Amino acid sequence: MELTYQCPKCGGNDIYFAKRQRIVGLGGIYGNRGKMVDTPLCKVCSEIANPMATSSEIKEAKAWAKIVAPLVKPFANPIFQNRIFQSAFLLAVLAIAFFWPA
C-alpha cells in the first residue's frame, strides 16, 4: 500500500524524499543522538509533508474498529484489571486472529 502525502503549508501533493537529521535518542551522558532519515518534502515550498489517509484506508480502519470494539469491553471487568490477565487475553485474541484458517 502506497502512502499519499500532503503539504500542511500549501496543500500540495507533489513531494520528494531527502535525507534529514532526526533526533532518535535523548539525554544520557553522550547527549542527544541524531540519525539521517528519508523525509518527505513538498517540491513547492520544501515543507515536511504529512501522510494522508485514503478513503480505502479509512474504510479499513472503521472495519477494524468494529471488530476490536467488542474485544476491548471485557477489560472494564475488575477481573481483567490484573496485567497478567490482560496480557494472556490479548495474546489469545492475536493468536486466534492470525492463525484462524481462512
pTM to 2 decimal places: 0.48
Instruction: Give the model's pLDDT for residue 53.
Output: 77
Instruction: Give the model's pLDDT for residue 99.
Output: 78
Question: What distances in angstroms separate CA 79 from CA 3, 70, 75, 82, 87, one per listed residue?
Answer: 41, 17, 8, 7, 13
More confident of the two residues 74 and 55: 55
Q: How far apart are CA 13 and CA 58, in angstroms?
A: 19
- Whether 1 has a pLDDT exceeding 60, the answer reads no
Q: Give the residue carrying C-alpha cell 486472529.
A: 97
Q: pLDDT of 61-77, one tens digit each?
A: 888 888 877 777 766 66
Q: pLDDT of 13-37, one tens digit each?
A: 889 999 988 887 776 677 777 888 8
